[in-house]
Amino acid sequence: MSAQVAVIMGSKSDLPSLKGAFDTLRSFGIEFEARVISAHRTPDTAAEYAKTAEERGIKILICAAGMAAHLAGVIAAHTTLPVIGIPMASEPFSGFDALLAMVQMPPGIPVSTVTAGPAGAKNAALTAVSILALSDAALKEKLKAFRAEQTRKVEEADAALQKELGLA
């Protein structure tokens, strides 16, 4: 089976923050590619990668970048595939600059954007799972089971809290 999702980071220093995305995709059995491509330092590579993604079987592109964070926008400009942006925290604005760069895309070139950092990486992967589950019944069932497990864990934590505080 070929990769359905591509995870692109603007710098290899983003790798630790993306672990949750890789773990999540693997837990759902989704094959992925991972690359370091810079919108500013390797613009031709970024454009070519985006232009050829669909013919390689990619259905969704996840782009992580900090600072000016133009990677997701550059990728989106060269493909009609869905692009999900993950702002990466960096100095001096702790990811706020990257978030603004991603959510301020001009009309016609959308980039869906999740929260910054590791939580965003996991949510980007779950968004990709949700998109792929639209046409994959088995994946949809795995996603429903994942959600049910999340609910169960919160309910257990609440029950434990009630008992701990003597409220139950």
- Any idea where the domains of the chain sit in the sequence? 5-135, 137-168
Give just the sign of the alpha carbon dihedral 124, 59, 99, 34. Answer: positive
Name the token pair of 134.
Answer: 């639209």
Contact predicate 77/110, CB 8 Å? no
In this prediction, residues 132-141 reach a mean pLDDT of 98
Q: What CATH number was assigned to the domain covering residues 5-135?
A: 3.40.50.1970
Q: What is the pLDDT, as a whole number, of residue 99?
A: 87
- Which pTM was predicted? 0.93
pLDDT band at 63 (very low <50, low <70, confident <90, very high): very high
Q: What is the pLDDT, as a whole number, of residue 66?
A: 86
Query: Does residue 23 carry a pLDDT above 80?
Result: yes
Cis peptide preceding 118, ω within 30 of 0:
no
